[in-house]
Amino acid sequence: MRVLLDIKDNKAQSLLDVLKGLPYVKTKTLSNYQAEAIEQMKEAIDELHLVKTGKLKARNASDLLNEL
């Protein structure tokens, strides 16, 4: 299982030390850019799920392109 945690900077190191001490846990620190990219992908997937279930209306592709 993979878990993404959002931890305050001043508390992160102590939690990472605990996690690194557990033999069954692997840790990897992400850059702010990587974490933001993952968050944006998650939001896009959540929105897609809402569109598929009919809880959110999809936008027209031409409208999206015109916005760019």
17-64: per-residue pLDDT in tens? 999 999 999 998 889 899 899 999 999 999 999 999 999 988 887 887
- Where do the domains of the chain lie? 9-67
Is residue 40 a contact partner of residue 48, using CB atoms and an 8 Å limit?
A: no
pTM score, whole prediction: 0.61
Residue 39: both structure tokens together: 């968050």
Cβ proximity of 16 and 30 under 8 Å: no
